[in-house]
Amino acid sequence: MLKKLFRTMVASLMLATVIGAHAAEDDFPNRPITLIIPVAAGGTTDIAGRALAKQLKDELGQTVIVENRAGASGSIANAYIARAKPDGYTLVLSYEGFHTGNPVLTKDLGWDPIKDFTPIAEVIRGPHLILVPASSPAKTLQDLIDLAKEKPGTINFASSGVGSIQHLGGELFKIQTGVDIVHVPYSGAAPAMQDLLAGRINMFITTPPTAMSHLEAGTLRALAITSSQRHPKLPNIPTTAEAGLPEFQLEAWFSVFGPANMPDDVVKKLTTAMEKVITSEEFKAQMNAQGSNASYRSPDELAQIVKDDLAKWTKVVETAGITAN
């Protein structure tokens, strides 16, 4: 009799737990969501994340709190998400270089870019600008290449961290031009930009949002944009092809992920809300004004992009002989 009663109590408890879990999913979100930004405040990821969070509040009916967790080339943020509860309340706006470049360079990160994450949505894509301080003697891209060849090892270039697209792009630049320039990693685009403006950094390849106000103020000079076409907001900046380096093109994505094993219903609610925001005219205009392009991709599409990019960057790193050091 007691055993039967015990089994009944256990079954009831398990049923209540299941019902409670489904009720929580159906009620999602019923409290604020945290969106982790893996870099310091002020860079492209931060700008896009804050714009996304602001508009998601209207779609989800809950505040989306932006939290910057910079460091270790995005690994601090990604490791945090990989260990987070997969309930949809903790997400990350990840950057292509951190998510697919860094794992290729560093084998023991403590997280796997595929197994430990649930793809939610691609948010933006952005070409890169090849930037120098306004005080730089390089007026054109060829000037910069010539200067680097005249003084090997004396020109440095910044990145937002080891494994970032700026890092990999800088290494590709070295290979394609035959120059010897020195990599200086930072915790994000914003601190790298500060040193570029101060003249402590000679070159920075980064997405336009971080640089737009400085270009308008004349404190930075853009030598080229790493895309096949000029950007409508930057019509006077030549493409790399126009500047004499046709094969050098870089376009980075910024996408939202959650921890692995998130409930399908929660993913669907998040994806639906994000698609509405990302495809809205307001969000498109905001990103375009910053020099980036709003670019929605579904969870399945994003999952495939991650796999393809891991293969692409593996080949690049092996060809260039790049190491985490």
The CATH number covering residue 273 comes to 3.40.190.150
What pLDDT shows up at residue 267?
A: 98
Q: Total structural domains in the chain?
A: 2
Residue 52 within a domain:
yes
Is the Cβ–Cβ distance between 134 and 218 less than 8 Å? Answer: yes
Q: How far apart are CA 162 and CA 40, in angstroms?
A: 15
Q: How far apart are CA 241 and CA 227, in angstroms?
A: 8
Q: How far apart are CA 293 and CA 93, in angstroms?
A: 16
What pLDDT shows up at residue 139?
A: 97
The residue among 277 and 42 whose pLDDT is bigger is 277
Task: Tell me which amino acid residue 265 is.
Answer: D
pLDDT category, 188, cuts 50, 70, 90? confident
pLDDT category, 8, cuts 50, 70, 90? low
Mean of the per-residue pLDDT values for the chain? 90
Q: Do 17 and 36 belong together in one domain?
A: yes
Neighbours of 300 (CB within 10 A): 9
What pLDDT shows up at residue 241?
A: 95
Q: Do 114 and 260 belong together in one domain?
A: yes
Task: Tell me which residue range forms the domain holding 169.
Answer: 129-225
Q: How many CA atoms lie within 13 A of 245 on its CB side?
A: 26
Q: Do 41 and 26 belong together in one domain?
A: yes
Q: Do 14 and 115 belong together in one domain?
A: yes
Structure-block tokens of residue 142? 């060829």
What pLDDT shows up at residue 192?
A: 94
Q: What is the residue whose two structure tokens read 């040193």?
A: 195
Q: Do 115 and 135 belong together in one domain?
A: no
C-alpha distances (whole Å) from 128 to each of 46, 131, 284 are 16, 9, 18
Question: Of 225, 243, 266, which marks where a domain is finished?
Answer: 225
Residue 301's H or E segment, with its range, is: helix 299-320
Q: Do 23 and 90 belong together in one domain?
A: yes
Is the Cβ–Cβ distance between 200 and 221 less than 8 Å? Answer: no
pTM for this model (two decimals): 0.79
What pLDDT shows up at residue 3?
A: 53
Structure-block tokens of residue 226? 């790493």
Task: Tell me which amino acid residue 120 is.
Answer: I
pLDDT category, 9, cuts 50, 70, 90? low
Residue 198 within a domain:
yes
Q: What is the residue whose two structure tokens read 């692409």?
A: 312
For residue 62, is pLDDT > 60? yes
* Angle in degrees, CA 96, 97, 98, rounded to 5: 95
What pLDDT shows up at residue 317?
A: 86
Task: Tell me which amino acid residue 255 is.
Answer: S
* Angle in degrees, CA 135, 40, 296, rounded to 5: 100
Q: Do 91 and 145 belong together in one domain?
A: no
Q: Do 121 and 153 belong together in one domain?
A: no
Q: What are residue 87's phi and psi, to 5 degrees?
A: -105, 0
For residue 325, is pLDDT > 80? no
